[in-house]
A and B are shown apart, each in its own frame.
Chain A
Amino acid sequence: MTTIHPLEINFQDKIDQEAKIEPKDWMPDAYRKTNLRQISQHAHSEVVGMLPEGNWITRAPSLKRKAILIAKVQDEAGHGLYLYCAAETLGQSREQMIDDLHSGKAKYSSIFNYPTLTWADMGAIGWLVDGAAILNQVMLCRTSYGPYARAMVRICKEESFHQRQGFETLLVLSKGTEEQKAMCQDAINRWWWPSLMMFGPKDSESTNSDQSMKWKIKRKSNDELRQNFVDMIAEQIKLLGMTLPDSHLKWNEQRGSYDFGEINWDEFWNVVKGNGPCNKERIDARRKAHEEGAWVREAALAYADKKNKIKTVSAA
């Protein structure tokens, strides 16, 4: 039998009493590692998530849509920043995290490895992808690590605009010409399954006891969240007059929930392993931005140094 260290008992007590864990508190190494991995992956997801949408800024159908899309992408940059800051409180430098993303060591959400082929994809991403993310993020507002929870609260405040604008984009298309309707349905068809995959593998695939739940990093299981999402979207799609690409989707009176078909898990693992349609393109774009922006970071620092020197000389 392993004995539990008093520090760990004290740590678990705090969590059981719903007290937040703060950066300088003692914490088990695995708690630190799990949070660091999860928060940095979340940060990377926000940053890489700008790419599929950024693709459409110059091609938005109107000035209004362009302004909205810029605002949304800018929010995502901010979300990435909040999360990197939260991850840094666990003792890893921003530079290291960015290096890990660029080397392929660190992961980001696989959803962003799918291409955005038409304007309707901007609507589908807002409604489905951000909708799935929000369910997860609302839960994470109550996560046990203080800086992560605070970042999530801030993010959730900004995120609901993302989902609403996405749904509205599709609503407009759903009332448009036959071509626009077809474009709307096509985007939903392509984004539906990848959105369901965002919640991760099935609970039954879990080999370990649920330490993340015990530590209150996470408060709902993958399958629970996925079911919440299906129930929400299956109702909302009726307002669009569109359909979800799943012949097994059916209301289950007994469960009070929708039944749905099986996810293609081979595809899921394939994209996680780097073989999705856009994995390479996304990382290449990130590396390019980072490398080509290096001179700007250096110049800004040199300018700040120069100004400081002038100030010191004139003060002497």
Chain B
Amino acid sequence: MNFQFIKKMYYGDIPDEPGNGAAYQTKPDTAAWPLWEVFIRSKRGLDHKHAGSLKAADATMAIENARDVYTRRQEGVSIWVVESKYIHASNPDEAESFFDPAEDKVYRHPSFYELPDEVKHM
């Protein structure tokens, strides 16, 4: 595979020209906060839905930061946070075989059954 690196410059894609601060040495940051996933219930009666992620030192700070980042315009009535490292996910590379068992079971859908019109709504 031979990819030419994209040279075209777009907004938000500013050319890599040497800047004025190349000599700057950043200090190692010893206090990296863990990453949290944020789930928000937008109103009573609805599920909590994944809204995004953020960094925080602990759960209390994660909830407060989530409030400040994701509910500034009354987008939520309840917040869940969980540290991202505790989330387990299915493997996208195996998605095809993993979800395969559901593929050939059309009889699980109501439209599989042909009923006389007289039944009307069922």
Q: Judge if B5 is at the interface, Cβ distance under 8 Å.
A: yes
What's the nearest-Cβ distance from chain B to residue A182, in Å?
Answer: 31
**A200 touching B10 in the complex, CB below 8 Å, given contacts A104-B18, A304-B58:** yes
What's the nearest-Cβ distance from chain B to residue A197, in Å?
Answer: 9
As a 0/1 sequence over residues 60 to 73 of chain B, the CB contacts with chain A under 8 angstroms (1 = contact) are 01000000110011
As a 0/1 sequence over residues 23 to 57 of chain B, the CB contacts with chain A under 8 angstroms (1 = contact) are 01111011111010000000000000000111101
Provide the bound-state CA to CA distance between A34 and B3, in Å. Answer: 12
Which residues from chain A contact B111 at a C-beta distance below 8 Å? none
Report the stretch among A20-28, A51-59, A241-249 that lies at the interface. A20-28
Provide the bound-state CA to CA distance between A201 and B52, in Å. Answer: 33
Which residues from chain A contact B22 at a C-beta distance below 8 Å? 103-105
**A108 touching B14 in the complex, CB below 8 Å, given contacts A99-B26, A206-B8, A208-B4:** yes
Provide the bound-state CA to CA distance between A71 and B73, in Å. Answer: 11
Cβ B12 vs Cβ A38 within 8 A: yes
**A218 touching B10 in the complex, CB below 8 Å, given contacts A104-B24, A107-B15:** yes
Provide the bound-state CA to CA distance between A136 and B11, in Å. Answer: 7
Cβ B20 vs Cβ A104 within 8 A: yes
Provide the bound-state CA to CA distance between A201 and B10, in Å. Answer: 7
Q: Judge if B114 is at the interface, Cβ distance under 8 Å.
A: no
What's the nearest-Cβ distance from chain A to residue B89, in Å?
Answer: 8
Q: Which single residue of chain A is at the shortest CB-CB distance from B58?
A: A304
Among residues 70 to 108 in chain A, which have CB atoms less than 8 Å away from a CB atom of chain B?
Answer: 71, 74-75, 78, 81-82, 85, 88, 93-95, 98-99, 102-105, 107-108
Our pick among A25, A225, A283 for the contact of B20 (Cβ within 8 Å) is: A283
Which residues from chain B contact A218 at a C-beta distance below 8 Å? 10
What's the nearest-Cβ distance from chain A to residue B1, in Å?
Answer: 6
Which residues from chain A contact B3 at a C-beta distance below 8 Å? 28-30, 211
Cβ A279 vs Cβ B20 within 8 A: yes
Our pick among B31, B53, B91 for the contact of A301 (Cβ within 8 Å) is: B31
Which residues from chain B contact A24 at a C-beta distance below 8 Å? 89, 91-93
Q: Judge if B2 is at the interface, Cβ distance under 8 Å.
A: yes
Which residues from chain B contact A264 at a C-beta distance below 8 Å? none
Provide the bound-state CA to CA distance between A132 and B31, in Å. Answer: 37
Provide the bound-state CA to CA distance between A285 and B39, in Å. Answer: 33
Our pick among B4, B29, B30, B32 for the contact of A211 (Cβ within 8 Å) is: B4
Our pick among B1, B14, B57, B69 for the contact of A303 (Cβ within 8 Å) is: B57
What's the nearest-Cβ distance from chain A to residue B76, in Å?
Answer: 13
Which residues from chain A contact B54 at a C-beta distance below 8 Å? 81, 85
What's the nearest-Cβ distance from chain A to residue B49, in Å?
Answer: 12
Of listed B22, B61, B69, residue having the most chain A CB within 10 A:
B69
Q: Judge if B19 is at the interface, Cβ distance under 8 Å.
A: yes
Provide the bound-state CA to CA distance between A110 and B7, in Å. Answer: 18
Q: Judge if A2 is at the interface, Cβ distance under 8 Å.
A: yes
Kindly list the 10 A-B residue pairs having the minimum CB-CB distance in the complex, ordered from nearest: A104-B19, A104-B21, A274-B20, A304-B58, A300-B57, A107-B14, A30-B3, A298-B31, A42-B12, A297-B31
Beyond A28-B1, A103-B21, 9 extra complex contacts between A and B, CB < 8 Å: A2-B1, A85-B52, A102-B26, A104-B24, A136-B10, A207-B7, A211-B8, A218-B10, A298-B31
